[in-house]
Every structure is written in C-alpha cells, then in structure tokens.
Amino acid sequence: MEFWSTLWAVVFVLCLLLFAGVAVYVSVGAIGDIRALFRKMGKRDGDAKADPQG
Amino acid sequence: MPSLTSNFGTLDWLIVAVYMAATVGVGLYMNRYIRDMGDYIVAGRSLKSRLAVATMIGSELGLVTVMYSAQKGFTGGFAAFHIAVIAGVVTFIVGMTGFIVVPLRRLGVMTIPEFYEKRFSRGVRVFGGLLLAFAGILNMGLFLKAGALFVTGLTGLTDPNSVAVVMTVMLALVIAYTIMGGMVSVVITDYIQFVVLSFGLILTCGMAVYALGWTTIVETVASVHGEPGFNPLLEGSGFGPSYIMWMIFTAGLVSCAVWQTSVMRACAAESVAVVRRLYRWSSIGFLIRFMIPQFLGICALTYFFNMPEFRGFFFDETGSPTADPTMTLQAMPLFLSQVLPTGIIGLVGAGLLAAFMSTHDSYLLCWASVLTHDVVAPATNERLTTRWQLTLSRVFISVIGLFLLVWGLWYDLGQDLWDYMAVSGAIYFTGAFTLLLAGLYWKRASTVGAYLALIAGIGAVAGLGPVNKTLGLGMYRSDEIGLAVTALALVLMFVGSLVFPDRLDRGDQASWAERAQQEGWDGQADKADKADQADRADRPDRLDRKGEA
C-alpha cells in the first residue's frame, strides 16, 4: 500500500504542476489564435460580399 | 440529504449571473460568422493549435465529468486515478501516432458517419448516424440530473422546484446560443471556460489539501477502502484487470479518438500537424479532467467520514461508502460548499456551471449535426439546401433539449454515473471503433461486416443497470459486457468482410484507397497537407518540425 500511496502522491503533484504550465501557455497563446480566427472569417465574409457570384 | 449551511452567498450569485450573461452574450454574438454547415459544425476548419487545445479541454472538462469523476474518487479512492493516467497516456500516444484521427482529418470528413459513407456505403452512414445520435443523446440524458445535484449541493438550494427552474433556464440559454452561433460560439465559450476552470480547479485542490491535510486524506482512504483504495489491480475497489482493460478502451482510446465530440475538434483543426499537436497537448487535459475531480471526491470522502454527524448519510454501518449513487454524486459539491470561502465558491461555481453549459452546447451541436448531416441529408439524397440543414439542426437541438429535461427526471440511475456514461456510449462506440479500425487500416473490410459490427455494438445496452437486471445478467459487470461486445463486433467485422466482401474489394476492381483517388477525396487530403505545410512554415521551432517530419 505504501508503494501505491507514494506513487499516486507523486503522480498527482507532477500532473498538477504540468497542467498549471499548460494552462498558462494555452490561455495566453489562444488569444492570438482567436484573433486569427476572426480575421480569417471576417476576411472571407468581406470577399463574399465583394464577389456575390462566388 | 444532509442539511449543511453553504458558504454560497449573494456575492456568489452575482458572480454566477455576470459570468453566465457574458458567456451567453459572446456565444450569441458569434452568429455573425456563420455562413454554411462547415462554419456551423467545424468553424470553417480554422482552429489553430492553442485555441484547439483550449476548446478541446474546455469541452471535455465539463460539469458532468467533474461530477462522475468525483463520484469515482469517493467510491474508489486513489485507485480511481488509474482512469486519469490511462486517459492521458492513450491521448498522448494518439497524438504521437495520429492513430485514427489523422486519416480522418486527411479525408476531410466532418463526422464519423460521413466516413462510413466514403468507406462503406450510404446505408451504413445513415444506420451508423442513427446509432451514434441515439447512444449520444442517451449518454447525455443524465447531464441535467448531475447538474441539478451539483447546484443543490453547492448553493444549498433545497426546494426541488427552484432547482428545476435554474436548470431549465440554463438549458434554454445554451440552446439559444448554440442554435445561433454553432461551432464558433462553442469554441469561444469553451475558451473562456477553460481559463476560469483550469485555474479555479487548481486553486480548489490547494484549498482542499490545506483544509484537510494530506496525511488525513491518505489515512481516511486507507481506513475506508483499505488497500483496494490505492491499488486498482485489486478487485475489492470495484476495479481490477478487466476494468482497467475497459478503461484503456473507453477512457483512453474512445474518448479521444472515437467519440464524436472529440473527433469534431480534430476535424475542425486547420491541418494534420495541428491535429497531432492538439492531441499531444490535450493529453494532460484529458488526464487532469479526471484526476482533479477524483481528488476532490476523495477529499469529500475524508471530510464527511471525519464528521460523525454526517457520516450516516454517506457511509453504511461498516464504514463503506453508501450504495446510493445520488448521495455519492452529491458529496463533492456539498464538500466544496463547506470548504471554499464566499467569492471563490462563486467563481468556481460559475466556472463549473459554464462548464455544464459548454458540455451541453458541444453535445447538442454534435448530435443535432449528426442527425441532419448523416441521417436526414443522405436519406434525402443530399437535396437539402444549406438553409434547410441549418434550420433542421436547430430544430433537432430544441427537441434533444426537451428530451434531456424529461429523461433527467425519469431515469433511475442505479449505478455510478461514469459507468452509465461508459455503457450508454458503448452502444455506439464499440461498433464505431471497429468500423474506424477496420475501415482505415484493413482494405478488405466490407459493408456487410460494417453492418454486423454496428448491430453487435447495440448489445452493450445490457451493461446498463436496469437492463442488466431485467435480462438477469447480474453476474456480469458492465465492463465485462462492454469488452465482450467489443470483441464480438471485431469478430463479426472480420468474418462478415471475408464471407461477404464488397465488390470493390475483388481483384478486378479498385480498392477503397483507389476509389478515394478516383472520386477526388485526395483533394481534401491535399488541402489538409497544404495547410500542414503552411502551418510548419509559420512555426520556426525546429523541434516541432522534427516531430512532424
């Protein structure tokens, strides 16, 4: 039981730290991706309006 | 239910209201970007890596996941962590190998049944689509109930009518912005939820350990569960080798590579490289979405076991957790209502309620899209206009919402929520896994084999508590039934394909890969690969290029 209890404690702490790092990286980085998504979809809408025949 | 005074106060209600209004507002605003079904279902395939990761984790880290995982932690102790580890490791392996998801993205399909038609036949697509929608809707049938139990436990609301009103209003809001904004609104709201929930849950774990003490937590689990509370290989914890195998399949492979809501994220990715990165990065999210709630469930176990006045509600005379799934589900929110201070509880509550809405929006969109795109459209020979497809999807979203209200009130759970989810999903995914595996990697897989595998998958319904009792199969656990059905589906696919091969598989005809080339599917692959090349050119980091080469 000692082995499993230590194993889960180590796994839990490591995963929590790793996730905290990923959460910071993704939260900040995704803002740029959202901007790019809106730019792409907005530009496409603009193209469609300029050329209604497609 | 025990009467505990919740820390949830007026300030917390205010935080929840502002958060909800902002989320719904953003969702509704996204309607301006929807032009066709591609925008509606897969956001125009414009998702880049980090946003795709946020939306994947945001969608999968829902309130229901938190509830059923906390319940597993409560009933299984630390041994339940094996489910989380399996989910993370398998998702990472899928990201490294591209198993199933990369070929699907290359084919440019939006849904799995769409692949069925390309690979097998239109009939398989319609049948598979119906099964997928049926199992998927059944699978989310208890989401509202879990949400109601969470609201009751966290806020201290005890009047069943007020809980029903809160849940109905939330469902109505989700339906409104999903109907309007489709995948674009889902992506943005998922991102907001990802940010709030990620940091909120990490903070909650810290506060729970601070309140209880790590040593007390470990000692209480040892006292309640004994060694099976730590070692998942022992049967006493409700786990054991067959359960672990079942988890490798369901919590691991299926939840990331076969389950339609996850596959939709892969299909919405901008390129194949993004798909691989998405899975590699999301693997930690797939792990943590189980592990943190499981830990909170363990903390709830510790808290209530050490409070003699409430022990009787959650434990039987022998000190084992009660067999009543409603009580074990409610333990975690009740625990949070006692441990978190005002303000923090409002923020975490708002995040989890937003998670509840976010899961609903993803699932509603997913199943409505499958019904429109894979059942009605092919059944009408694709004569539906884009406008009609969008309208029909919106009608399906409303109808599914109504079903959820009725089913959530009527169905008697009778087993752990996680097991209900795994079994109801298995009706679809045992067959779907077989079709994807054989369809993508075995060129002799045939239409008859596909039908047989899908039909075999329906047998998984025998794992549901009430059905299991009715059929007198009580001696078999749901994981054993699930594994047996999966094996049966694989065997039937193999035998059916050999005995009844497709005409295209015969020597004088083209194989499915050649057919793909003839019919121009490779055009989609080209697009995915071009996006891939552009993506690589945008990324200067050499390590990543090396990984994708």
Task: Place B489 in a pLDDT band, splitting at 50, 70 and 90.
Answer: very high
**Cβ distance of B287 and A32 shorter than 8 Å:** no
Q: How far is A29 from chain B (nearest CA, A)?
A: 6
**Cβ distance of B281 and A27 shorter than 8 Å:** no
CATH of B11-523, one of 1.20.1730.10, 3.30.565.10, 2.60.40.10, 3.50.50.60: 1.20.1730.10
Strand partners, B512: none
Task: Place B184 in a pLDDT band, splitting at 50, 70 and 90.
Answer: low
**Cβ distance of B50 and A33 shorter than 8 Å:** yes
Per-residue buried b or exposed e for B64-94, using 16+ beta carbons within 10 Å of the residue's own CB: bbbbbbbbbbbbbbbbbbbbbbbbbebbbbb
User: What is the pLDDT averaged over residues B366-377?
Assistant: 85
Chain A residues whose CB is inside 8 A of the B284 CB are 15, 18-19, 22
Distance of alpha carbon B365 from alpha carbon B397, whole angstroms: 7
**Cβ distance of B202 and A38 shorter than 8 Å:** no
Interface test with B, best of A2, A3, A4 (most B CBs within 10 A): A4
User: What is the pLDDT averaged over residues B470-499?
Assistant: 89
> Residue B418 in contact with residue B74, Cβ under 8 Å?
no
B292 part of contact set with chain A, CB < 8 Å: yes
Predicted local confidence at residue B523, as pLDDT: 47
Distance of alpha carbon B202 from alpha carbon B351, whole angstroms: 12
Predicted local confidence at residue B212, as pLDDT: 94
Task: Place B409 in a pLDDT band, splitting at 50, 70 and 90.
Answer: low
**Cβ distance of B284 and A15 shorter than 8 Å:** yes
Task: Return all residues near B67 (Cβ < 8 A) that are at least 6 apart.
Answer: B146, B147, B149, B150, B293, B329, B332, B333, B417
Residue appearing with tokens 């580890």: B85
* More confident site: B181 or B355: B355
Count of residues in chain B: 549
Structure tokens at B366: 């997913």
Distance of alpha carbon B148 from alpha carbon B153, whole angstroms: 9
Chain B residues whose CB is inside 8 A of the A27 CB are 54, 194-195, 198
**Cβ distance of B202 and A23 shorter than 8 Å:** yes
Predicted local confidence at residue B504, as pLDDT: 57
**Cβ distance of B222 and A36 shorter than 8 Å:** no
Predicted local confidence at residue B363, as pLDDT: 79
Predicted local confidence at residue B291, as pLDDT: 96
Chain A residues whose CB is inside 8 A of the B47 CB are 33, 37
Q: In the predicted model, is pLDDT for residue B377 greater than 60?
A: yes
* More confident site: B538 or B299: B299
In chain B, which residue's Cα lies nearest the Cα of A29?
A: B50
User: What is the pLDDT averaged over residues B320-340?
Assistant: 88
In chain A, which residue's Cα lies nearest the Cα of B38?
A: A41
Predicted local confidence at residue B508, as pLDDT: 40
B355 part of contact set with chain A, CB < 8 Å: no
Q: How many CB pairs under 8 A join A and B?
A: 103
Q: In the predicted model, is pLDDT for residue B177 greater than 70?
A: no
**Cβ distance of A4 and B47 shorter than 8 Å:** no
**Cβ distance of A23 and B292 shorter than 8 Å:** no
User: What is the pLDDT averaged over residues B440-446?
Assistant: 91
Distance of alpha carbon B101 from alpha carbon B90, whole angstroms: 13
Predicted local confidence at residue B534, as pLDDT: 56
Residue appearing with tokens 């303000």: B343
Q: Which DSSP string corresponds to A6-26?
A: HHHHHHHHHHHHHHHHHHHHH
Predicted local confidence at residue B539, as pLDDT: 47
Chain B residues whose CB is inside 8 A of the A37 CB are 43, 46-48, 51, 184, 187
User: What is the pLDDT averaged over residues B419-429?
Assistant: 81
Distance of alpha carbon B524 from alpha carbon B45, whole angstroms: 12
User: From the list B46, B218, B285, which residue is nearest A41 (CB)?
Assistant: B46
Q: In the predicted model, is pLDDT for residue B328 greater than 80?
A: yes
Instruction: Return the minimum-mean-pLDDT range out of B72-76, B126-130, B318-322, B500-504.
Output: B500-504
Predicted local confidence at residue B545, as pLDDT: 35
Q: Which DSSP string corresponds to B68-129?
A: HHHHHHHHHGGGGHHHHHHHHHHHHHHHHH-TTHHHHHHHT-SSHHHHHHHHT-HHHHHHHH
Q: In the predicted model, is pLDDT for residue B283 greater than 60?
A: yes
User: What is the pLDDT averaged over residues B236-250?
Assistant: 86
Around B248, how many Cα atoms within 13 Å sit in the side-chain half-sphere? 8
Chain B residues whose CB is inside 8 A of the A40 CB are 44, 46
**What is the percentage of chain B residues whose pLDDT exceeds 90?**
26
Q: In the predicted model, is pLDDT for residue B507 greater than 80?
A: no
Predicted local confidence at residue B511, as pLDDT: 53
Task: Return all residues near B429 (Cβ < 8 A) that are at least 6 apart.
Answer: B135, B250, B254, B258, B259, B457
How many CB atoms are located within 10 Å of the residue B469 CB? 11
Task: Place A53 in a pLDDT band, splitting at 50, 70 and 90.
Answer: very low
**Cβ distance of B281 and A26 shorter than 8 Å:** yes
* More confident site: B86 or B387: B86
B270 part of contact set with chain A, CB < 8 Å: no
User: What is the pLDDT averaged over residues B60-86?
Assistant: 91
Task: Give me the residue spans of the domains in chain B.
Answer: 11-523
* Chain A residues whose C-beta sits inside 8 Å of any chain B C-beta: 1, 4-5, 8-9, 11-12, 15-16, 18-20, 22-23, 25-27, 29-30, 32-34, 36-38, 40-42, 44-45, 48
Chain B residues whose CB is inside 8 A of the A34 CB are 51, 188, 191
Nearest to B451 by CA among B9, B146, B119: B119
* More confident site: B355 or B119: B119
Distance of alpha carbon B241 from alpha carbon B252, whole angstroms: 15
Around B57, how many Cα atoms within 13 Å sit in the side-chain half-sphere? 33
Chain B residues whose CB is inside 8 A of the A41 CB are 33, 39, 44, 46, 184
Q: Which DSSP string corresponds to B329-367?
A: HHHHHHHHHHHSPTTHHHHHHHHHHHHHHHHHHHHHHHH
> Residue B220 in contact with residue B305, Cβ under 8 Å?
yes
Distance of alpha carbon B186 from alpha carbon B508, whole angstroms: 47
Predicted local confidence at residue B3, as pLDDT: 64
Residue B320 sits at φ, ψ, to 5 deg, of -85, 155
Distance (Å) of CA B452 to CA B47, B434, B447, B499: 36, 10, 9, 12
Around B526, how many Cα atoms within 13 Å sit in the side-chain half-sphere? 6
**Cβ distance of B33 and A38 shorter than 8 Å:** yes
Predicted local confidence at residue B522, as pLDDT: 45
Q: What is the pLDDT of residues B508-546, one digit of tens each?
A: 444 555 555 555 554 445 555 555 555 555 444 433 333
Nearest to B246 by CA among B456, B426, B441, B13: B426
Q: In the predicted model, is pLDDT for residue B493 greater than 90?
A: yes
Distance (Å) of CA B412 to CA B168, B324, B384: 20, 11, 39
Q: How far is A50 from chain B (nearest CA, A)?
A: 15
Instruction: Return the minimum-mean-pLDDT range out of B13-22, B60-69, B304-313, B352-361.
Output: B352-361
Task: Place B206 in a pLDDT band, splitting at 50, 70 and 90.
Answer: very high
- AA identity, residue B307: M
Per-residue buried b or exposed e for B307-343, using 16+ beta carbons within 10 Å of the residue's own CB: eeebeebbbeeeeebbeebebbbbbbbbbbbbbbeee
Q: B315: helix, coil or strand? A: strand
B43 part of contact set with chain A, CB < 8 Å: yes
Looking at every residue in chain B, the average pLDDT score rounds to 81
Residue B269 sits at φ, ψ, to 5 deg, of -70, 150
Chain A residues whose CB is inside 8 A of the B214 CB are 9
Predicted local confidence at residue B366, as pLDDT: 80
Task: Place B320 in a pLDDT band, splitting at 50, 70 and 90.
Answer: confident
Distance of alpha carbon B134 from alpha carbon B427, whole angstroms: 9
Q: In the predicted model, is pLDDT for residue B399 greater than 70?
A: yes
Q: Which DSSP string corresponds to B246-279?
A: HHIIIIIIIIIIISHHHHHHHHHBSSHHHHHHHH
**What is the percentage of chain B residues whose pLDDT exceeds 70?**
83
Instruction: Return the minimum-mean-pLDDT range out of B111-115, B231-235, B250-254, B360-364.
Output: B360-364
User: What is the pLDDT averaged over residues B429-445?
Assistant: 91
Q: In the predicted model, is pLDDT for residue B88 greater than 80?
A: yes
ipTM: 0.83
Predicted local confidence at residue B168, as pLDDT: 77
User: What is the pLDDT averaged over residues B478-486?
Assistant: 88
**Cβ distance of B285 and A19 shorter than 8 Å:** yes
Task: Place A11 in a pLDDT band, splitting at 50, 70 and 90.
Answer: very high
Predicted local confidence at residue B165, as pLDDT: 74
User: What is the pLDDT averaged over residues B407-428?
Assistant: 74
Which of B107-116, B445-454, B466-475 tops mean pLDDT?
A: B445-454
Predicted local confidence at residue B293, as pLDDT: 94
Angle between helices B417-441 and B122-139 (to 10 degrees): 160
Chain B residues whose CB is inside 8 A of the A29 CB are 49-50
Task: Place B218 in a pLDDT band, splitting at 50, 70 and 90.
Answer: very high
**Cβ distance of B199 and A23 shorter than 8 Å:** yes
> Residue B300 in contact with residue B329, Cβ under 8 Å?
no
Q: In the predicted model, is pLDDT for residue B96 greater than 90?
A: yes
B301 part of contact set with chain A, CB < 8 Å: no
